[in-house]
Amino acid sequence: MTRPQRTVILAAQNAANRLADRHTPFVMNDWYVAAFGDEIKAQLLARTLLGRRLVFYRTSDKRVVALEDRCPHRSMPLSAGTLVQDTVVCAYHGFRFNSEGDCIEVPSQATCPKNVGIKAYRTLERGPVVWIWMGEAEEADLSKLPEQDWMEDRQWEHSKGFLSLQASYIRLHENLLDLTHLSFLHAKSFGTPDYAKAAFESEIGEGRFALLRNVVPTTLPPVWAVPTGLTGPGQAARIVRSEFKSLGMHEVSVRFYDCHLPENERPEFQIRTAHMPTPETATTTHYFIVHGRDFAQSDAATTRFMHDQLFVAFNEDVDGLALQEQALANTPAEDLYEFSVASDAPAVAMRRYVLARQQKEAEANSAVALRP
Ligand code: FES
Ligand SMILES: [Fe+2]
């Protein structure tokens, strides 16, 4: 049998202890996608992000409000209450909270106690998505927001969608950083057999991790072949960059061209996909997706065709990651080991970085707690 010796398994388990996984507490001081902008209306919307229950609504001047979803009087979820003139009235005893989370009315008495409000989160609406800073609102750091100009660029045609993932967000980031799986998990959708064997390069920097693959020549699957017209066998180049841009966003950018045409004569077709995983719990994830292309603008039929084909593939990831999460949960800790190969290098570095971020945040919090 080829199972490693006990010492090798122990070494693999020790190495895994230096990587973030579903047991790693969440990193709060960063931006995550809370919702698509069109989900948030002038009504209360409950959503759990990073293990915290929140309530969202849009004010009459169109701001997105995010508050802790728990009344500090007797813990009634505020999302069960009512929205009255941009304030939330608790369903139980009628305490009222404004959009900053301050308690502004207690019906049973004339005055409202001071400093009994709830946490208000900083939100930022950019293009189709609403970002949320999960740490303290006054510490929200705009420099940590990943670049996303193409999502707001009218030269790009966009579509968007949401999937509920029954797996850790760490496994989704890992899945996206190595697209070797296209040849297998997506063999029936947008993968091709040559993808896994194509040469790749890794880029590992502080907080940025990428894997680049040039699949040339290749035969494009219908999702790309039909809209680009690159339908011939071995006609196309597929140049892919998968990049972890932040805890809340991974971007896949791809260029396609006819590899039989001279470089200065061939049109290029670009697509980008922002994969934005926001942890819900340790093992469930809100998976927001925005897809864009720089060709076939204003072509609704192409948008629908590509969107439908892409979501067949993204559902394959969701199904595969859920199976993986179940296998992890059903394996006794002493038997659990995983080994990595060269194409895992960016994902392993990413997981080491996430754990280091979380540890740094925990240290900073305990230093604040210990301050006299
Ligand atoms: S629980 Fe909200 S007012 Fe009492
Ligand atoms: Fe995938």
Residue 249: partners with Cβ closer than 8 Å, 6 or more residues away = 33, 146, 148, 274, 275, 276
Give the CATH number, domain containing residue 78.
2.102.10.10
CATH number of domain containing 176: 3.90.380.10
C-alpha dihedral (25, 30, 35, 38), degrees to nearest 10: 170
Q: Are residues 221 and 249 in the same domain?
A: yes
Q: Residue 14 falls within a domain, yes or no?
A: no
Is 125 a member of any domain? yes
Separation of alpha carbons 302 and 158, rounded Å? 11
- Considering the domain architecture, whether residues 131 and 153 belong to the same structural domain is answered as no
Question: Ligand 2: distance of its center to the CA of 21 in Å?
Answer: 19
Residues 127 and 201 in one domain: no
- The alpha carbon of 313 and the centre of ligand 2 are apart by a number of angstroms equal to 7
Q: Do the Cβ atoms of 163 and 289 come closer than 8 Å?
A: yes
Domain end point (choices 115, 140, 165): 140
| Ligand 1 neighbour 91 (Cβ under 6 A) | no
Reduced to 3 states, what is the DSSP secondary structure of residue 302? helix
In the structure encoding, which two tokens stand for residue 11, read together? 């070494």
Q: Whose CA is nearest to atom 3 of ligand 1?
A: 93
Quick one: which ligand is closest to 79's CA? 1
In-domain check, residue 171: yes
DSSP secondary structure letter of residue 31: E
Separation in Å, CA 349 to CA 13, 242, 265, 355, 357:
16, 14, 39, 10, 12
Residue 249 lies in a domain: yes
* 134 & 157 share domain: no
* Domain presence at residue 370: no
Q: Is residue 195 included in any domain, yes or no?
A: yes
pLDDT at 372: 62
Burial class (CB in 10 A: 0-12, 13-18, 19+), 340: middle
Question: How far is residue 18's CA from residue 84's CA, in Å, rounded to a whole number?
Answer: 48
Tell me the pTM: 0.96
pLDDT of residue 36: 98
Mean pLDDT of each 10-residue bin along the chain, 372 residues long: 85 93 97 98 98 98 98 98 98 98 96 92 97 98 95 94 98 95 95 94 94 97 96 97 98 97 95 98 98 95 97 98 97 92 96 98 86 66
Of 91, 122, 140, the residue that ends a domain is 140
* Overall domain count for the chain: 2
207 shares its domain with 313: yes
What distance in Å separates the CA atoms of residue 321 and residue 319, rounded to the nearest whole number? 6
* 244 and 227, same domain (yes or no): yes
152 and 251 fall within a common domain: yes
Write phi, then psi, for 216 (nearest 5 degrees).
-145, 125
